[in-house]
Amino acid sequence: MFYSQLDTSNVTDIDTQLVELKKSQSKIVLLYATAAQARSIFERATPLGLTSDKYLWIGTQSVRGTQTSVTGHVQPGMLSVNFHTVSNAMFAPRDDVLPLIIQLAPKLFGAALLLIPPNQSISLVSTASCRDEDGPPSWNDGEKIYELMKMAFVKGNPFHVDDGHDSFFYTFNEYGKLKNSMLQISNLRKNPKGGLYWDKVGIFTNNELRMADVEWPGDKANPPQGTADKFHVKVVTLHEPPFIIVSDVDPDTGRCPGNQGSICDWGDEEIDVRGEGKKNHTLWKCCSGYCVDLLNKLANDIGFTYTLYKVRDEKWGLKTETGWNGLIADLINNKADMCVTSLKLNSERARDIDFSLPFLETGIAIIVKIRSGVLSPTAFLGQESQLVMEFISS
């Protein structure tokens, strides 16, 4: 995830931050700005390809503004999220806010008074005074009314009366904030007559999102994937034929013989450098085998590159008093993103790392010669030597 604040009055700052955004491989961009600031950003983002169909911009209500039609540099197909509920509205029209406040405030106050127990009396006359010498002004009955107002609810319409949302309930949490807001999702569509216009395509309320058809960027039927074009992962491994087979690279080309396999970092070795003595040098090997074939298949299908290296302590992973070692330690300590080899799955390891579904399971079996006739349950034991029996029992 990439986060940035920029100065829209400084073109150099806009360009610098947009280049960093592109490097981050983020495909979903949430934009909080005024309509004028958004135009400045889109004007610089378009030449960089950041408004192509690989990206989806989502603007706040301030980005959309109060206009229904749009001209200039924007992304066709982008979305905007509008907070029309009074408590959360940022730039709601003035003629919308005032009637709602006037209508709902007395209703909420009255609903709170109805919650006062019959055997309890509360004074509506404030006892708070700015001249109190014992601390900040306080009104005990006022605090009780406030708690009751948080428990109360009123029914109202966060939009215009004719929008059909009269079933919306204003309820509050323990901090006095709305539990539920009504969000309107708008889509910037192309007008057949030219230009762009905002069209309502969704409503989010009561933790439920209802969406109509969306015109996505590039006139696509589906939204951008939201994943990076390419990403690089570090993969740790250990020699375990036939899953991971380690061999020398071709001394002439420095590649795997026949280009079969992947170059892997197999630790450091000391080499003699003329006039400089001994120096550490990365030992490159060729890794092949079933796991490397599987890794290459995943890399091609998902779209990533990787660096394969041997765990430095050459251990599989055992939990000691000081923590994990081996392959498991490299995963936990973020030295590696993935481990690819024949690694045994057990409950202790599964508590600290995530395993893929097993692609191969092996077990221990004892094979003995079949004899004719009736066999006793312990017949297989009689065929083994004393040394073999001791090995099995151990």
Tokens representing 128 are: 């708070």
Residue with tokens 């197999």: 266
Report the amino acid identity of residue 109: F
What CA–CA distance (Å, rounded) separates 23 from 162? 47
What CA–CA distance (Å, rounded) separates 61 from 31? 10
Q: How does pLDDT run across 205-234, given as a tens digit for each residue?
A: 777 889 999 999 998 888 887 766 677 899
Q: The whole model's pTM is what?
A: 0.54
Residue with tokens 């004393």: 386
Please say whether the beta carbons of 31 and 40 come within 8 A: no
Residue 380 above 80 pLDDT? no
Those residues whose C-beta lies under 8 Å from the C-beta of residue 331, and which sit 6 or more positions away, are 236, 338, 339, 353
What CA–CA distance (Å, rounded) separates 43 from 74? 7
Q: What angle do CA 294, 228, 287 make, to 5 degrees?
A: 25
Q: What is the mean pLDDT of residues 234-240?
A: 95
What CA–CA distance (Å, rounded) separates 314 from 235? 14
The pLDDT value recorded for residue 271 is 74
The pLDDT value recorded for residue 88 is 42
28-31 and 56-60: which strand pairing?
parallel
Residues paired with 185 in a beta bridge: 81, 202
The pLDDT value recorded for residue 101 is 64
Please say whether the beta carbons of 26 and 52 come within 8 A: no
Burial class of residue 180 in the structure, from the number of CB atoms within 10 Å of its CB (0-12 exposed, 13-18 middle, 19+ buried): middle
Tokens representing 125 are: 């006359």
Q: pLDDT averaged over the chain?
A: 82
188 Cα distance to chain centroid: 25
* Confidence class for position 328, pLDDT limits 50, 70, 90: very high
Q: What is the largest CA-CA distance in the chain?
A: 108
- Ordered by where they begin, the domains of the chain are 11-84+182-219 (3.40.50.2300), 87-170 (no CATH), 231-350 (3.40.190.10)
277-288 and 245-247: which strand pairing?
antiparallel
The pLDDT value recorded for residue 371 is 64
Please say whether the beta carbons of 331 and 353 come within 8 A: yes
Q: What is the mean pLDDT of residues 2-22?
A: 90
Nearest residue to 150 via CA among 129, 176, 121, 169? 176
Residues of the chain above pLDDT 70, percent: 81
Q: How does pLDDT run across 25-40, given as a tens digit for each residue?
A: 788 999 999 888 999 9
Rg (CA), the chain: 34
Residue 386 above 70 pLDDT? no
Q: How does pLDDT run across 163-186, given as a tens digit for each residue?
A: 555 567 778 888 888 777 778 899
3-state secondary structure of 262: strand
Residue 97 above 80 pLDDT? no
Question: E strands, the chain, where?
Answer: 28-31, 56-60, 69-70, 79-83, 154-156, 168-170, 183-190, 196-205, 208-211, 231-237, 245-247, 262-273, 277-288, 304-310, 319-320, 323-324, 338-339
Nearest residue to 333 via CA among 341, 323, 343? 323
3-state secondary structure of 377: coil
What CA–CA distance (Å, rounded) separates 55 from 28? 6
Higher pLDDT, 318 or 270: 318
What CA–CA distance (Å, rounded) separates 192 from 184? 24
Residues paired with 232 in a beta bridge: 305
Please say whether the beta carbons of 214 and 223 come within 8 A: yes
